[in-house]
Amino acid sequence: MAESIELVPDGANLQVTLDNLQEYIDLVLHAVFHETVNLQLQAFKKGFNAVLPIESLRPFQVRDEVELLVCGSEPSGAEWADTNLLRDLIKPDHGYSASSQAYEHFLRFLVEMPAADRPAFLTWATGARRLPLGGLAALQPPMSLNQKKPLTSDQSPDEMGLPSVMTCQHYVKMPEYSSYEILKARFEQAIAEGGCAFYLN
């Protein structure tokens, strides 16, 4: 049963007429968008305070510091521009090695990726558009590149379709494409089409 809210004292006994219609509309909007939202906000603050006392956030003077701790960091910085650093952060596995051409192409793809496209890649690869505090090095488990094998012996890796990912494990699965250009096109398509979807693959 819905709770009745009196907008004015003794409002339950007042009729809405053309003379007081605008006042009624203003009071309803105020109640819906200010008072009820305020109740929800106060309940959220109470619950949040039970887990993490709001007073403990006082040392953080800048909103950006709290946002960084809670939401993680934007995908920018030196780790995206340095192939050698990426080698330490993204491990080849299950069919790929550090000397695999496909692994080199994948690292090149990440280095050449425009900064504006990194959040979409991260959403596709990890399920989050931001990295944890500490960047790629802080991903747990670390990201890995794994070979997606053909289903039949006569199937070419270039015919195998798009790369896929296990987001909870940061486990990127990619066929051994024959060229960088094919790899780049397949990843761009996978990120564009799969960044907002969740499929069992």
> How much of the chain, in percent, has pLDDT values that exceed 70?
87
Q: What is the pLDDT of residues 147-190, one digit of tens each?
A: 999 888 888 999 988 999 998 899 999 999 999 999 999 999 99
Residue 64 lies in a domain: no
Residue 201 lies in a domain: no
Q: Per the confidence metrics, is the pTM higher than 0.75? A: no
Same domain, 29 and 109: no
Same domain, 187 and 97: yes
In this model, does residue 196 exceed pLDDT 80? no
Same domain, 39 and 133: no
Q: What is the pLDDT of residues 34-84, one digit of tens each?
A: 877 888 888 888 998 898 887 777 776 666 666 666 666 666 677 888 999
Residue 98 domain boundaries:
78-194
User: How many domains is the chain built from?
Assistant: 2
In this model, does residue 201 exceed pLDDT 50? no
Same domain, 102 and 37: no
Same domain, 104 and 187: yes
What's the confidence (pLDDT) of residue 154?
87
Asked if residues 175 and 157 have their Cβ atoms less than 8 Å apart, the reply is yes
Residue 65 lies in a domain: no
For the CA atoms of the chain, what is the radius of gyration?
26
Same domain, 159 and 86: yes
What's the confidence (pLDDT) of residue 83?
92
In this model, does residue 108 exceed pLDDT 70? yes
Residue 199 lies in a domain: no
**137: Cβ–Cβ under 8 A, 6 or more apart, which residues?**
79, 88, 89
- Select which of 51, 78, 168, 197 is catalytic: 168
Ranking 62-71, 80-89, 116-125, 135-144 by mean pLDDT, the lowest is 62-71
Same domain, 33 and 109: no
196 is catalytic: no
The DSSP code sequence of the chain is -PPP--SSTTGGGPPP-TTTHHHHHHHHHHIIIIIHHHHHHHHHHHHHHHHS-GGGGTT--SHHHHHHHHH-B-S-SGGGT-HHHHHHHEEEETT--TT-HHHHHHHHHHHHS-GGGHHHHHHHHHSSSSBPTTGGGG-SSPEEEEEPPPSSTT--GGGS---EEETTTTEEEE---SSHHHHHHHHHHHHHHHTT-----
Average confidence (pLDDT) over 88-112: 96
Residue 6 lies in a domain: no
Residue owning tokens 């053309």: 18
